Amino acid sequence: MHALIAILGLAAAQTAARLPDMARQVRAERARLEASGPVFNNENVALRAAVVSTGRAPAPGAPAARPAPGGRDEPQWRALFAEARATIAHAEDRARLREQEIAALNYRLLTESGLYNREGRLGVEIREKRTELDAALEDADAARRALRDLAEELRRAGGPAGWAR
């Protein structure tokens, strides 16, 4: 046990001693890369593309011009897809709720033997809930179709598939 602690302590001391050397090496490598030529990253690639295509840099703070597919830009497409997914989730939740209500009514129908059941009131309620369940399932299917149609519209407009996520 003591040997393990001693080994870990020695390893930590060696790492601490090497840390400043490693930082110096990283700084030297960065300086070498910056001196070797342009570095392309997510921040400057759009700016460099605009300079190459137009011959002059766009105004600072101005986004790179890109035609919006289907007349909508990325945030609009993403909002449409988020709304479509929320509609699907709401319709599916409504269907699950109706299924649970039907199960509870069926349980009451089987366990209660009073006057309430003999008059057939539970049977009517069960039929009404089944009708509501069918409507909720239809709404969920329609919402799924709307999402597929929206994805097809994005594809036909030439937008990237990532905007649908």
More confident of the two residues 69 and 97: 97
pLDDT in tens, 55-89: 555 555 555 545 566 677 888 888 999 999 999 99
Q: To 10 degrees, what angle do helices 121-157 and 74-111 make?
A: 160
> What is the chain's percent helix, strand, coil content, to nearest 5?
80, 0, 20
Hey, what are 18's tokens? 């090497």
